[in-house]
Amino acid sequence: MNDYYAILGLERTCTAEEIKAAYRRASRAHHPDLVGSTPETVERFKQINAAYEVLSDPQKREMYDLGIDPLAPGGTPGAGSGDRFTGFGAGFTGFGDIFEAVFNAAAGAPRAGQQGPLPRASRGRDQLERLSIDLVQAVFGGTATVSYSTYLTCGACSGSGCAPGTRPVSCAACQGRGVRERLVRSLLGTMRTMDPCRQCQGYGSLITTPCPDCSGHGRVRGRRSADITIPAGVDSGNRLRLTGQGEAGPAGGPPADLYVEFKVRRHPDFVRQGDDLVARLAVPMTAAALGATIQVETLDGPHGITVRPGSQPGASVVLEGLGVTRLNGRGRGDLRVELDIKVPTELDEAQRELLRRLASERGEERPDAGLSPAHGGMFSRLKDKLSGK
């Protein structure tokens, strides 16, 4: 992106007066007719004019400060005609043919187009809609219908903006040219500049009897819907572009695109980690000690999980290929089931007696006495290290 502030030698905090002054300075200092017309000086001069066009227009400057170049092709509606009225630079012919030739070469296009009326129709704006889907849809894909509010081409006037049976009339003020000539005296002599006609805002025509449905805009607010295919593997933040499904353009202009951004809802049992799914399974202490096969409900249906005898807290069982479909089409991630080993609580007397017998059997009635290095545990290992064993 061009650094328009740097081109004019300005700080980002500069005032409108400073922009004007800097532009005047720079355009005098770099005028191709004064410094010699080479591709470089012409390019430089064009940049100065572009910088002024953006920074002198509060709306464009704000956009630029947000990181969008309003003059970039396709950046904004009407960006293509953006350098139409740069006042000093474009369209003045005071220096005669040489200067016009310089500009023709610089612009790479005939200037004639810049002196005609502005087209009323322009492309609509792209639109973003968010769509909430559940985890099953994200994993396996699916279909959905997105319903959204947008601009639709006015049905009553088919986008022309004119009441039925009427047409725009040619603007008398500019004879339909959309521009008015003005002579400006400056340091460089008297120059002819083109300003947009105020009467018709540069369109060259006036809608004298606007369509009552759209007040002459050629489009109305309304709802529309789009059927979409949810790609298997999408995640929150992924976007789908639907060409031509965005806002209809003003005055019958072409429609923009609709972007659908997915938001995957939380699932009560499964958490997504990239292409993997993670779940927690409550396993009774006895099952962890003895081993067991436990039936669980996965997104693919019931599945047996083998808990190996002696499974420890923090252990997990991986079910390969039961995770999220990979967006690149290369299979699926895994489902990792973390074992949440439950120590029994609320024991009755008989159960307590059973556990006491187990403890006695294993020599664990007095855990402090029973701890040996082989028994494991942080403390015993630490003790080994300290005593140098």
Residues that bind Zn ion (CB under 5 A): 154, 156-157, 171, 173-174, 197, 199-200, 211, 213-214
Pairing of strands 276-284, 335-342: parallel
Cα–Cα distance between 116 and 202 in angstroms, integer? 9
Q: Is 225 helix (H, G, I), strand (E, B) or coil?
A: strand
Cα–Cα distance between 168 and 177 in angstroms, integer? 14
In angstroms, give the least distance from the CB of 120 to Zn ion. 13
| 290 C-beta neighbours (distance < 10 Å), count | 12
* Under 8 Å between Cβ of 191 and 197: no
- Which tokens in the block code for residue 215? 């007040």
Cβ-based nearer residue to Zn ion, 251 or 260: 251
Specify burial of residue 126 (Cβ count, 10 A radius: 0-12, 13-18, 19+).
Answer: middle
- Which tokens in the block code for residue 174? 């500019």
Element at 73 (helix H, strand E): none
Specify burial of residue 241 (Cβ count, 10 A radius: 0-12, 13-18, 19+).
Answer: exposed
Angle CA 94–97–103, to nearest 5: 85
Across the chain, which distance is largest between two alpha carbons, in Å? 110
In angstroms, give the least distance from the CB of 128 to Zn ion. 26
Cβ-based nearer residue to Zn ion, 212 or 367: 212
Cβ-based nearer residue to Zn ion, 154 or 288: 154
Cβ-based nearer residue to Zn ion, 21 or 206: 206
Element at 284 (helix H, strand E): strand 276-284
Cβ-based nearer residue to Zn ion, 8 or 154: 154
Cβ-based nearer residue to Zn ion, 180 or 303: 180
In angstroms, give the least distance from the CB of 115 to Zn ion. 13
In angstroms, give the least distance from the CB of 70 to Zn ion. 24
In angstroms, give the least distance from the CB of 109 to Zn ion. 23
Cα–Cα distance between 153 and 221 in angstroms, integer? 9
Angle CA 281–337–313, to nearest 5: 65
Element at 386 (helix H, strand E): helix 378-386
In angstroms, give the least distance from the CB of 199 to Zn ion. 4
* Under 8 Å between Cβ of 127 and 66: no
In angstroms, give the least distance from the CB of 116 to Zn ion. 12
In angstroms, give the least distance from the CB of 157 to Zn ion. 3
Cβ-based nearer residue to Zn ion, 70 or 204: 204
In angstroms, give the least distance from the CB of 173 to Zn ion. 4
Pairing of strands 127-133, 258-264: parallel
In angstroms, give the least distance from the CB of 85 to Zn ion. 14
Give the orientation angle of helix 39-55 with respect to helix 16-29, to 10 degrees. 170
Cβ-based nearer residue to Zn ion, 152 or 234: 152
| 275 C-beta neighbours (distance < 10 Å), count | 19
Cα–Cα distance between 7 and 58 in angstroms, integer? 18
Cβ-based nearer residue to Zn ion, 171 or 307: 171
Cβ-based nearer residue to Zn ion, 19 or 211: 211
